[in-house]
Amino acid sequence: MDKLDIVKLGGELLESSENMKTALSSFHALSGHKILVHGGGSQASALCEKLGIEAKMHNGRRITDDDTLEVAVMVYAGLANKTVVAGLQKLGTNAIGLTGADANLIQADKRVVQDIDYGWAGDIRSVNTANLKALLSIGLSPVFCAITHDQNGQLLNTNADTIAATVASALAADYEVHLHYCFGHAGVLKDIKDENSVIPTIQVGEVDELHHKGIIADGMLPKLHNGVMALQHGVQAVTIEKPETVHNEQALKTTVIG
Amino acid sequence: MDKLDIVKLGGELLESSENMKTALSSFHALSGHKILVHGGGSQASALCEKLGIEAKMHNGRRITDDDTLEVAVMVYAGLANKTVVAGLQKLGTNAIGLTGADANLIQADKRVVQDIDYGWAGDIRSVNTANLKALLSIGLSPVFCAITHDQNGQLLNTNADTIAATVASALAADYEVHLHYCFGHAGVLKDIKDENSVIPTIQVGEVDELHHKGIIADGMLPKLHNGVMALQHGVQAVTIEKPETVHNEQALKTTVIG
């Protein structure tokens, strides 16, 4: 089977042009099939603020009303995605920027209203692997932002960590997939102040314990849960690391073990 | 040779959901290979206004400064493009939304500063027909917005009429191309108040005369010049019409004759 690297870049890595340059160069240095998934960062919130759109939150999760979805589509699918694509094209990676609506690649359902209506938040229903494989086969490197669709004309906001893991899982039957969650640290740190305190491996069974001990922060939990899900679906490797190390298997990073 | 329809939709056709529905249904009804190119409409200006970005104009042309480019990328490549793609996917057309940066499809150069610096306005250098043909060959219908790139990391604002004609010209060697310029009227009208006064054919040599007589408005001139250019590059047919008639060759419309 061919190798396929799927790299999730935290939105915060795209906020300074220096960080973005480093992240895109590292992605460019990967040989073979590759997919990038990027988060949104604070640009969407900043634009909401400028436009006087009030942020509605519930348990730290943003509620996506009509205005917020418009801003998310403009910032994620527009400005962030196309800036990344143009930056990769400059380096010579044949990137193509995508939402889940494009080529019908990721279909999602509006999150079911239980206690809370999260608005236009989409939970992934399925990935169109045929179309995605077709894009990879003609030499393109897909760049996904955190927007999907319901196939009934509605765009939806979907967590980028989940997109990365779900796409990785969907392609695990066709490629030897390595899923990289990249953020600003070298890996999951025992001591947040010490970049050398990277935990080299985390077993599935350890996640809850590490969380209770306060070693795994709330923001890291979804990455680990998504990573575990990906391993269970046949993804070969899941690592948590800096963008700089995606093409260096020997580098210090955290590997999630199924 | 296979047939290929290229449909340019004026941005104003996307401003009401009723008009958009009609336009997308008509595009969907075209069989075979097809490409849609859409303008931006007034959404970008409206967002600029909300954000307090002053419109800088010269001879009716907008000067694209840094802030204006950001808004154009957000509105054209983000909101407008993805709304069109999701709408087409709902109908069953396998649309994929694109800028010229995606798959390096349209490379442009920042317009040379002579008397006026138009800012981030891009004049098309070349079309990557290999990648575009590859997308068509896997059954996708490309949907272009009016953003290109310089292959050096810079996004650029490029006139959508010109994109449509240049893409049509570039593919004329490989497909039997029909270029449709769609707007709110049935064709070029002798009398702007009478929808039945469509001029059925306009010869290349007549364009200037019709302009001098005031029959061809300023906004129509670029379409005609682009249409003539496309015919000279081997495009089979160029028509000016409503979206409703793109799949009806017998309907009343204006055909440009080379």
The predicted pLDDT at position B59 comes to 74
CB contact under 8 A, B76 and A81: no
Per-residue tokens: A9? 């870049």
d(CA B1, CA A84): 36
Looking at residue B13, which CATH number applies to its domain?
Answer: 3.40.1160.10
Q: How confident is the model at residue B12 (pLDDT cuts 50, 70, 90)?
A: confident
Which chain A residues are Cβ-neighbours of B149 within 8 angstroms?
Answer: 86, 89
Q: What is the mean pLDDT of residues B92-110?
A: 98
Q: Taking the model in full, what pTM does it have? A: 0.97
Using CB atoms within 10 A of its CB, is residue B185 exposed (0-12), middle (13-18) or buried (19+)?
middle
State whether ipTM is beyond 0.85.
yes
Distance from CA of B27 to the nearest CA of A (A): 15
Q: What is the mean pLDDT of residues A224-239?
A: 96
Q: Report strand pairing: A254-257 vs A237-241.
A: antiparallel
Q: Which residue has the tokens 């004329």?
A: B172
CB contact under 8 A, A83 and B131: no
Which chain A residues are Cβ-neighbours of B82 within 8 angstroms?
Answer: 73, 77, 99, 101-102, 147, 155
For CA atoms A234, A235, A236, A238, give the dihedral sign.
negative
Strand partners, A203: A257
Distance from CA of B113 to the nearest CA of A (A): 23
Using the predicted structure, report yes or no on whether residue A173 has a pLDDT greater than 80.
Answer: yes
* B138-172: pLDDT as tens digits: 999 999 999 999 999 999 999 999 999 999 999 99
The predicted pLDDT at position B117 comes to 87
Distance from CA of A24 to the nearest CA of B (A): 12
Which chain A residues are Cβ-neighbours of B40 within 8 angstroms?
Answer: none
The predicted pLDDT at position B248 comes to 94
- Closest-CA residue to B148 (of B113, B181, B105, B117): B105
CB contact under 8 A, A79 and B96: no
d(CA B208, CA A74): 40
For residues B246 and B186, the answer to whether their CB atoms sit within 8 Å is no
Residue B45: phi, psi to the nearest 5?
-60, -40
Distance from CA of A109 to the nearest CA of B (A): 14
For residues B39 and B75, the answer to whether their CB atoms sit within 8 Å is no
Q: What is the helix (H) or strand (E) element at residue A97, kind and residue range?
A: strand A95-98
Name the residue facing A90 among B51, B78, B153 (closest C-beta): B153
Q: How confident is the model at residue A205 (pLDDT cuts 50, 70, 90)?
A: confident
B10 interface with A at CB cutoff 8 Å = no
Residue of chain B minimizing CA distance to A49 = B51
CB contact under 8 A, B96 and A83: no
What is the total count of domains within chain A? Answer: 1
Average pLDDT of chain B is 94
CB contact under 8 A, B155 and A86: yes
Question: Which of A 188-247 lie inside 8 A of B, CB atoms?
Answer: none
Using the predicted structure, report yes or no on whether residue A218 has a pLDDT greater than 80.
Answer: no
* A41-80: pLDDT as tens digits: 788 989 999 999 988 887 767 789 999 999 999 999 999 9
More confident residue, A40 or A182: A182
More confident residue, A233 or A215: A233
Q: Which residue has the tokens 């336009």?
A: B23
The predicted pLDDT at position A197 comes to 93
The Cα angle at residue B124 between residues B120 and B130, in degrees rounded to 5: 130
Determine which of B67, B73, B84, B157 to mutate to test the interface with A (most A C-beta atoms within 10 Å).
B73
B151 interface with A at CB cutoff 8 Å = yes
More confident residue, B130 or B222: B130
Q: How confident is the model at residue A254 (pLDDT cuts 50, 70, 90)?
A: very high
Residue of chain A minimizing CA distance to B93 = A103
* B24-37: pLDDT as tens digits: 999 999 999 999 99
The runs of H, that is alpha helices, within chain B are: 17-29, 43-50, 66-72, 81-91, 129-137, 160-170, 207-212, 221-232
Side chain identity at residue A10, one-letter code: G
Name the residue facing B75 among A74, A83, A87 (closest C-beta): A74
Question: Which of A 65-124 lie inside 8 A of B, CB atoms?
Answer: 70, 73-79, 81-83, 85-87, 89-90, 94-99, 101-104
Q: A237: domain range?
A: 2-257
d(CA A151, CA B221): 38
CB contact under 8 A, B140 and A90: no
Percent of chain A past pLDDT 70, that is, above it, reads 100
Q: Which residue has the tokens 């590292």?
A: A26
The runs of H, that is alpha helices, within chain A are: 17-29, 43-50, 66-72, 81-91, 129-137, 160-171, 207-212, 221-232
Least confident of A129-143, A237-251, B132-146, B193-207: B193-207
CB contact under 8 A, B90 and A152: yes
* A71-94: pLDDT as tens digits: 999 999 999 999 999 999 999 999
* A1-36: pLDDT as tens digits: 999 999 999 988 998 999 999 999 999 999 999 999
d(CA B115, CA A87): 30
* B191-249: pLDDT as tens digits: 888 999 999 999 988 988 998 988 888 778 889 999 999 999 999 999 999 999 999 99
